[in-house]
């Protein structure tokens, strides 16, 4: 009876969860109030005409006031000490745990220290890291996203060690949650309880909600109660105003259009302490988005290895981010406060400015949209006579030249000439140097506030500026793919082939290889669909290698893999049960398969050989269909993968994000990311062998 009651309880939780999943997918477009003009707008475009800026600014302030009242918004959770880190988390990175920049697959060890130092060198350091673990591998077998956490090298304890290293370096850690993972093996608890278990074990700081625009309030409370105070949500898709009260982090997806005059990010304008991380995943040119982040006082997502598609940063882009982040971190209270005045007129075409201020200081964030260097007076500013105010560019670390205007040349904020009505006010212009598509941070600071700490900050920024030659380096080096070529086998005579093998045709043959739609078809855009391949004579096994045959190999060779995790785990012992002896061997990785082939004086087929063979002769897949390893292993220095063929008995359902499964035509190939043996071994991948044959 208790078992039945538990099953009913889990079913009800699952039904509620699925309803939540469907409701929270995609971007939230609920208006803040009836008639909300920006309900479907993530970046509010700025009018081209400066004459319209005053009116447009007034409209923004009016919208914010109405939205605040209608939503009954509170920033109380942002003001708690445990959430203080949110305001300054300007640089977030997403690291796929099998990225070769983070994981040494040969040694089976993570390399977090190297990763952290590289982040400092290239981007000015990370404030937050998102550990990504399962997609695009989910769906190849029955393991769920929590299994992937447990099957990572060293399991949850090793992830806990990684989190501690990040924390020791001042970096917060979020982990990924795939709410769409509803068709794989289920846990004995609901997803949220399973997430709590992982969060508590590894001591992470929050959850990234993949594909969701918001998470349930109940789970936010549960995290902050059962793990510790200060646990955050970060969402992939754009937030509704109503959710900002307890959703501290948010990705600003790239699916929007910014204006030439940099626009205003709606959610940042509404809640100044809310941290946006602008997602640049498919953008070759990242500078417009760096400009957007700079002009809105918000953050950036550094993500170069996009599921093995390389979307690297140029030296120019790195230089911009590396120079702007120290300013954001130092003056975080300015960029998260109420003093924000957008659309400040400038004196140069293509140069735009926003003003940030407190009672003590003023900062103008400036961007140069031009592709050439600008050295000119860019800002016209009013100041009180007799004050000892100094102006610096915080990006270059240099003091700016001030030119005082005569009464005949004083202009109002719209650029119209006028005579000063107050003899205590003087108008000045500031000369500044802006690199091509570069940025500036003009600060007005009283002489009494210029202390050694401020001088040292300027010095540090001037050191960064020594590399401003990088502004002329927009080159992006594409990583080269290296294919692992198999060594040939001893050549067999045609009439003395090993038993169970069949001869294949040789010479030039067209081989059609199509890539499955999932995981994400765009990873294969550069892959030719038809290859004319010149085949040497070879023979192939008529069926996949069986459990019994692999057992005989172990007995004879004494083979033991270096990493034993999940090796032949389905045997539940030293030999396979009688019932599965003749089924294809699974829970072997690529090297396990190669070891067997080498012992047999065979090798694995190339991808083209496998497809040619399966199209030439009616293949024997056995009743239990499995994907099959082949020699298509590639690496680009960030990711390793191979292309599996054949399909399998398993087909995960319930989400478009799973890898395609089920039996497939021979030509259909699926990209399988390789990490380490404990993850690469699974219940749905086997192999067969080939030998080289004398052509006589």
Q: What is the C-alpha to C-alpha distance for residues 544 and 582, in angstroms, rounded to an integer? A: 10
- My answer on whether omega of the bond before 268 falls inside 30° of 0, hence cis, is no
Q: What is the C-alpha to C-alpha distance for residues 67 and 219, in angstroms, rounded to an integer? A: 26
* 364 closest CA partner among 353, 372, 349, 377: 353
How many residues in total does the chain contain? Answer: 696
Q: What is the mean pLDDT of residues 394-422?
A: 70
Kindly tell me if the per-residue pLDDT of 203 is higher than 60: yes
Q: What is the mean pLDDT of residues 308-316?
A: 90
* 183 closest CA partner among 652, 658, 684, 650: 652
Output the pLDDT for position 103: 96
Average pLDDT value for the chain? 90
CB contact at 8 A, 204 and 163: yes
DSSP label of 27:
-
Backbone φ and ψ of 661, nearest 5°: -130, -165
Question: Residue 398: is it exposed, middle or buried by C-beta count within 10 angstroms (0-12/13-18/19+)?
Answer: middle
CB contact at 8 A, 171 and 116: yes
Q: Return the exposure string of 492-519: e unless at least 16 CB atoms fall within 10 Å of the residue's CB, then b.
A: beeeeeeeebebbeeeebebebebbebb
Output the pLDDT for position 23: 44
Q: Which helix (H) or strand (E) holds 668?
A: strand 668-674
Output the pLDDT for position 185: 96
Radius of gyration of the chain from Cα atoms?
A: 30
- In three-state form (DSSP H/G/I as H, E/B as E, the rest C), the secondary structure along 625-644 is CCEECCECCEECCCCEEEEE
Q: Which ranges constitute the DSSP H helices of 211-276? A: 217-226, 266-270
Q: What is the C-alpha to C-alpha distance for residues 691 and 497, in angstroms, rounded to an integer? A: 8
CB contact at 8 A, 180 and 21: yes
* 555 closest CA partner among 563, 544, 547, 566: 547
Q: What is the mean pLDDT of residues 631-654?
A: 92
Q: Which two tokens stand for residue 560?
A: 């033991």
* 85 closest CA partner among 267, 313, 332: 332
Q: How confident is the model at residue 308 (pLDDT cuts 50, 70, 90)?
A: confident
Q: Return the exposure string of 24-41: e unless at least 16 CB atoms fall within 10 Å of the residue's CB, then b.
A: beebbeebbeeebebbeb
Q: What is the C-alpha to C-alpha distance for residues 73 and 87, in angstroms, rounded to an integer? A: 18
CB contact at 8 A, 473 and 315: yes
Using alpha carbons, list the distances in angstroms from residue 189 to 7, 8, 255, 653: 10, 12, 36, 20
Kindly tell me if the per-residue pLDDT of 24 is higher than 80: no
CA torsion sign for 38, 42, 44, 48 is: negative
Q: Which two tokens stand for residue 34?
A: 């009836």
Output the pLDDT for position 471: 87
CB contact at 8 A, 459 and 397: yes
Q: What is the mean pLDDT of residues 395-423?
A: 69
Output the pLDDT for position 524: 44
CB contact at 8 A, 314 and 474: yes
Q: What is the C-alpha to C-alpha distance for residues 526 and 529, in angstroms, rounded to an integer? A: 9
Q: What is the mean pLDDT of residues 139-168?
A: 97
Q: Which helix (H) or strand (E) holds 19?
A: helix 2-24
Output the pLDDT for position 652: 96
Q: Which two tokens stand for residue 579?
A: 């019932």
Q: What is the C-alpha to C-alpha distance for residues 207 and 579, in angstroms, rounded to an integer? A: 43
pLDDT digits (tens, 9 = 90+) for 475-502: 887 776 777 778 889 999 999 999 999 9
* 354 closest CA partner among 292, 398, 403: 292
- Strands 627-628, 507-512: pairing is unpaired
* Least reliable range by pLDDT among 39-43, 104-108, 317-321, 410-414: 410-414
- Strands 109-110, 128-132: pairing is unpaired
**Tokens 């298509």 sit at which residue?**
632
Q: What is the mean pLDDT of residues 214-224?
A: 95
Output the pLDDT for position 395: 98
DSSP label of 407:
G
pLDDT digits (tens, 9 = 90+) for 637-648: 889 999 999 999
Kindly tell me if the per-residue pLDDT of 194 is higher than 90: yes
**Tokens 């949500």 sit at which residue?**
233
Kindly tell me if the per-residue pLDDT of 10 is higher than 50: no
Output the pLDDT for position 281: 78
Contacts of 552 (CB under 8 A, 6+ apart): none
pLDDT digits (tens, 9 = 90+) for 454-470: 999 999 999 999 999 98
- My answer on whether omega of the bond before 136 falls inside 30° of 0, hence cis, is yes
* Least reliable range by pLDDT among 354-363, 371-380, 381-390, 583-592: 381-390
Output the pLDDT for position 144: 97
DSSP 168-215: HTT-EEEEEE-TT--SSPPPSS-HHHHHHHHHHHHT--EEEETTBS--
Q: What is the C-alpha to C-alpha distance for residues 244 and 229, in angstroms, rounded to an integer? A: 18
Say what the alpha-carbon torsion angle 182, 185, 190, 191 is, to the nearest 10 degrees. -60
**Residue with more model confidence, 268 or 624:** 268
Q: Which two tokens stand for residue 151?
A: 């099957």
Kindly tell me if the per-residue pLDDT of 18 is higher than 70: no
Q: How confident is the model at residue 525 (pLDDT cuts 50, 70, 90)?
A: very low
Q: What is the C-alpha to C-alpha distance for residues 378 and 351, in angstroms, rounded to an integer? A: 8
Q: What is the C-alpha to C-alpha distance for residues 514 and 523, in angstroms, rounded to an integer? A: 12
Q: Return the exposure string of 88-98: e unless at least 16 CB atoms fall within 10 Å of the residue's CB, then b.
A: bbbbbbbbbbb
**Residue with more model confidence, 421 or 376:** 376
Q: How confident is the model at residue 20 (pLDDT cuts 50, 70, 90)?
A: very low
Within 411-529, strands assigned E span 425-434, 439-446, 482-483, 501-503, 507-512, 514-515
């Amino acid at each position: 009876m208790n078992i039945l009651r538990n099953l009913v309880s889990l079913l009800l939780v699952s039904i509620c969860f699925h309803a939540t999943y469907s409701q929270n997918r995609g971007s939230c477009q609920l208006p803040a109030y009836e008639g909300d003009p920006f309900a479907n707008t993530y970046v509010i475009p700025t009018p081209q005409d400066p004459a319209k800026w005053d009116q447009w600014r007034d409209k923004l302030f009016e919208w914010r006031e109405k939205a605040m009242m209608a939503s009954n918004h509170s920033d109380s959770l942002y003001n708690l000490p445990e959430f203080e880190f949110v305001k300054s988390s300007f640089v977030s990175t997403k690291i796929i745990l099998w990225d070769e920049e983070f994981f040494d697959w040969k040694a089976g060890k993570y390399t977090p220290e190297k990763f952290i130092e590289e982040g400092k060198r290239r981007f000015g350091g990370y404030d937050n890291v998102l550990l990504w673990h399962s997609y695009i591998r989910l769906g190849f077998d029955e393991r769920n996203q929590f299994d992937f956490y447990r099957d990572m090298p060293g399991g949850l304890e090793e992830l806990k060690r990684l989190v501690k290293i990040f924390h020791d370096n001042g970096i917060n850690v979020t982990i990924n949650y795939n709410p769409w993972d509803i068709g794989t093996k289920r846990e004995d608890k609901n997803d949220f309880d399973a997430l709590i278990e992982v969060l508590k074990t590894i001591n992470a700081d929050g959850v990234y909600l993949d594909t969701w625009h918001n998470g349930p309030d109940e789970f936010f409370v549960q995290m902050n109660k059962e793990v510790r105070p200060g646990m955050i949500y970060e969402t992939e898709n754009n937030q509704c105003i109503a959710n900002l009260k307890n959703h501290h982090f948010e990705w600003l997806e790239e699916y929007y259009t910014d204006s030439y005059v940099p626009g205003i990010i709606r959610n940042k304008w509404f809640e100044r302490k809310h941290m946006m991380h602008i997602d640049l995943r498919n953008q070759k040119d990242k500078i417009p988005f760096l400009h957007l982040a700079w002009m809105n006082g918000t953050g950036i997502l550094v993500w170069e290895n996009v599921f093995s598609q390389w979307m690297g940063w140029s030296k120019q882009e790195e230089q911009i981010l590396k120079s702007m982040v120290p300013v954001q971190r130092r003056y975080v209270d300015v960029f998260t406060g109420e003093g924000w005045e957008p659309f400040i007129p400038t004196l140069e075409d293509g140069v735009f400015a926003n003003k940030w201020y407190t009672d003590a200081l003023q900062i103008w964030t400036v961007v140069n949209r031009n592709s050439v260097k600008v050295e000119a007076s860019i800002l016209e500013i009013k100041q009180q006579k007799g004050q000892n105010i100094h102006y610096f560019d915080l990006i270059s670390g240099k003091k700016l030249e001030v030119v005082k205007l005569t009464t005949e040349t004083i202009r109002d904020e719209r650029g119209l000439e006028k005579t000063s009505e107050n003899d205590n006010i003087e108008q000045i212009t500031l000369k500044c140097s802006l690199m091509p598509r570069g940025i500036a941070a003009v600060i007005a600071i009283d002489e009494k506030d210029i202390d050694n700490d401020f001088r040292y900050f300027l010095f540090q920024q001037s050191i960064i500026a020594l590399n401003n030659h990088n502004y002329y380096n927009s080159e992006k080096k594409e990583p080269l793919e290296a294919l692992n070529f198999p060594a040939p086998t001893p050549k067999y005579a045609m009439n003395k082939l090993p038993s169970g093998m069949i001869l294949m045709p040789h010479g030039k043959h067209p081989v059609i290889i199509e890539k499955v739609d999932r995981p994400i078809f765009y990873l294969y855009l550069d892959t030719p669909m038809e290859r004319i391949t010149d085949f040497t004579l070879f023979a192939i096994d008529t069926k996949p290698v069986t459990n019994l045959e692999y057992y005989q190999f172990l007995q004879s060779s004494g083979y033991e893999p270096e990493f034993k995790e999940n090796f032949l785990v389905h045997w539940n012992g030293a030999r396979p049960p009688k019932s599965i002896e003749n089924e294809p061997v699974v829970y072997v990785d690529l090297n396990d398969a190669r070891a067997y082939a080498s012992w047999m004086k065979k090798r694995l087929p190339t991808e083209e050989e496998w497809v040619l063979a399966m199209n030439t002769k009616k293949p024997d897949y056995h009743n239990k269909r499995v994907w099959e390893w082949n020699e298509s292993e590639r690496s680009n220095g960030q990711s390793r993968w191979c292309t599996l063929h054949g399909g399998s008995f398993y087909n995960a359902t319930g989400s478009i994000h799973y890898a395609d499964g089920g039996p497939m035509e021979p030509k259909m190939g699926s990209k399988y990311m390789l990490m380490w043996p404990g993850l690469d071994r699974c219940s749905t991948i086997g192999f067969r062998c080939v030998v080289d044959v004398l052509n006589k």
